């Protein structure tokens, strides 16, 4: 470190300074080398703008189409002129990959942006402490709140997760570790179940709980409907994760005189922990935004209901659905805010799960 603080004049013969190699990244292009690319990109934008102005193509869509075609053409030409045909092919494929990546990211970014733009302004502290039981449909946003929907959502998702994690993970363990005689059948049904439309899951619980058993709307019934959707997602993802754990590790455990159960519990599951947490996250993501099964099982409510085992309840997707349906201006605003809150809640859960999953030991 002393060589830095001493700040010797250039050309010093200090051997220490000569010996210390500086970390270089010679594989990164210098700004000068990037210049043709930058000019090419700017040129393409300008050329597309001019083309759109003078030709019958019009609007943003016209500009994007022109831009894609022109950038492929210009990049290929520059590379070909500066280097050779292979460089041109490389440029073209690189640009195509970037555009395709952008096409995937754009809708997601657009959705998130739109939700924040329309949902965030309606946000207020008060809405997390009030429900809609005494608020008129066209009342201003300062009245009422979504506490009932938030609590309902947390209840229904938490209960569904509690039911799904053991069943889903044990199913995955049966398929990968026990490899019992029924594995093929179980795998087939798990795959078939993951294709069940969510309303069918709701109808199933409705038929069993309300019609056959004569029950009434409640939060737990809704979480069972969600569990039907969540179990196959958890089981399939967990199965894939467990399959990736090398057989070597299982054999090492067994060769140490462990029972299969001990090997799975102390070796296989810890090795797969991060992936198993992802499996649960994916399952939760699958059900957090479900509305249809809740309509049939939880029933909906404008008032607070702290008891998940009795009485109607609300949920954030349900709150959104209902407020959009009101047709009032404030209803729409409440709906957007509800979507925003739902997104934030889901993101908070994902972050917590990720942090827990990455922490070793």
Partner 1 sequence: MDNEGEKDMSQTKVNSLASIAATRTPGTSAMGVGLEARNVHAWFGQKHVLSDISLDFYAGTVTALIGPSGCGKSTFIRILNRMHEFIPTAAMAGEVLLDGKDVYRSGVDVTKIRLGIGMVFQKPNPFPSMTIKENVLSGLKLAQIKINNSDELLEDCLVRAGLWSEVKDRLDQYGGTLSGGQQQRLCIARSLAVKPQVLLMDEPCSALDPGSTLRIEETIRDLSKTMTIVIVTHNMQQAARVSDYTGFFLSDGGPGELIETAPTSHIFSNPKDKRTEDYVTGRFG
Verify binding: residue 28, partner 1, rule CB under 8 A.
Answer: no
Least distance to partner 1, CB of residue 257, Å: 3
Q: Is 226 in the site for partner 1 (CB under 8 A)?
A: no
Separation between Cα atoms, residue 228 and residue 220, nearest integer Å: 13
254 binds partner 1 (CB under 8 A): yes
Smallest gap from residue 264 Cβ to partner 1 (A): 11
Among 273, 321, 328, 345, the residue binding partner 1 under the rule CB under 8 A is 273
Sequence-separated (6 or more) residues with CB below 8 Å from residue 136: 143
Residue 320: name the closest of 303, 310, 333 by CA.
Answer: 333
What lies within 8 Å, CB to CB, of 277 at 6+ separation is 353, 354, 356, 357
SS3 for 179? coil
User: Applying CB under 8 A, does 182 fall inside the site for partner 1?
Assistant: no
User: What DSSP character marks residue 127?
Assistant: G
Does residue 311 bind partner 1 (CB under 8 A)?
no
- Which residues are registered as beta bridge partners of 299? 313
Binding span for partner 1 by CB under 8 A among 82-90, 205-213, 261-269, 310-318: 261-269
* Residue 124 · residue 142 · CB < 8 Å: yes
Which of 267, 281, 288, 294 is in the footprint of partner 1 by CB under 8 A? Answer: 267
Decide whether 25 or 360 has the Cβ nearer to partner 1: 360
> How near is the Cβ of 218 to partner 1 at its closest, in Å?
40
Q: Could you say which of 252, 347, 348, 356 contacts partner 1 (CB under 8 A)?
A: 252
For residue 360, CA distances in Å to 321, 338, 356, 357 come to 41, 35, 8, 8
Closest CB to partner 1 among residues 79, 263: 263
Compute the least distance from the CB of residue 181 to partner 1, in Å: 11
Q: Which of residues 151-180 bind partner 1 (CB under 8 A)?
A: 179
- CA distance readout (Å), 48 to 54, 74, 271: 10, 11, 53
- Tell me which stretch binds partner 1 (CB under 8 A): 115-123, 163-171, 225-233, 256-264: 256-264
Binding of residue 259 to partner 1 (CB under 8 A): yes
Answer for which of 123, 249, 285, 332 binds partner 1 (CB under 8 A) is: 249
Catalogue the long-range contacts made by 115-121 (C-beta closer than 8 Å, 24 or more residues apart): 115/336, 115/339, 115/340, 115/343, 116/340, 118/333, 118/336, 118/340, 119/336, 119/337, 119/338, 119/339, 119/340, 119/341, 119/343, 120/337, 120/340, 121/333
Of 16, 262, 303, 309, the one binding partner 1 by CB under 8 A: 262
Q: How far is the CB of 278 from partner 1 (least distance, A)?
A: 16
Is 251 an interacting residue with respect to partner 1 (CB under 8 A)?
yes
Angle of helix 59-82 versus helix 85-119 axis, rounded to 10: 150
Residues within the interface to partner 1 (CB under 8 A): 179, 246, 248-249, 251-259, 262-263, 266-267, 270-271, 273, 360-361
């Amino acid at each position: 470190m002393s060589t830095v603080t001493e700040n010797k004049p250039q050309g010093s013969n200090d051997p220490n300074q000569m010996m210390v190699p500086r970390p270089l990244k010679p594989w990164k292009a210098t700004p000068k080398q990037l210049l043709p690319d930058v000019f090419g990109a700017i040129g393409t934008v300008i050329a597309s703008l001019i083309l759109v102005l003078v030709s019958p193509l019009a609007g943003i869509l016209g500009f994007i189409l022109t831009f894609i075609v022109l950038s492929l053409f210009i990049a290929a030409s520059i590379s070909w002129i500066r280097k050779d045909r292979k460089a041109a092919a490389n440029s073209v494929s690189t640009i195509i990959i970037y555009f395709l990546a952008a096409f995937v990211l754009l809708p997601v970014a657009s959705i998130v942006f739109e939700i924040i733009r329309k949902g965030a302004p309606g946000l207020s502290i008060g809405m997390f402490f009030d429900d809609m039981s005494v608020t008129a449909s066209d009342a201003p946003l300062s009245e009422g709140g979504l506490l009932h929907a938030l609590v309902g959502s947390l209840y229904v998702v938490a209960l569904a997760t509690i039911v799904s994690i053991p069943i889903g993970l044990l199913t995955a363990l049966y398929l990968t570790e026990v490899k019992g005689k029924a594995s093929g059948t179980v795998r087939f049904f798990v795959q078939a179940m993951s294709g069940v439309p969510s309303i069918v899951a709701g109808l199933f619980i409705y038929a069993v709980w309300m019609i056959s058993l004569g029950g009434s709307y409640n939060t737990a019934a809704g979480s069972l409907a969600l569990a039907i959707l969540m179990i196959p997602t958890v089981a399939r993802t967990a199965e894939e994760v467990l399959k990736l754990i090398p057989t070597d590790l299982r054999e090492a455990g067994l060769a140490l005189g462990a029972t299969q159960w001990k090997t799975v519990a102390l070796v296989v599951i810890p090795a797969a922990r991060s992936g198993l947490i992802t499996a649960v996250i994916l399952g939760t993501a699958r059900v957090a935004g479900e509305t249809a099964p809740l309509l049939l099982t939880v029933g909906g409510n404008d008032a607070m209901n702290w008891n998940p085992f009795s009485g109607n309840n609300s949920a954030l997707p349900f709150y959104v659905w209902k407020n959009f349906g009101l047709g009032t201006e404030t209803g729409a605003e409440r709906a957007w805010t509800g979507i925003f809150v739902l997104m934030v809640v889901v993101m908070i859960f994902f972050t917590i799960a990720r942090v827990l999953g990455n922490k070793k030991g």
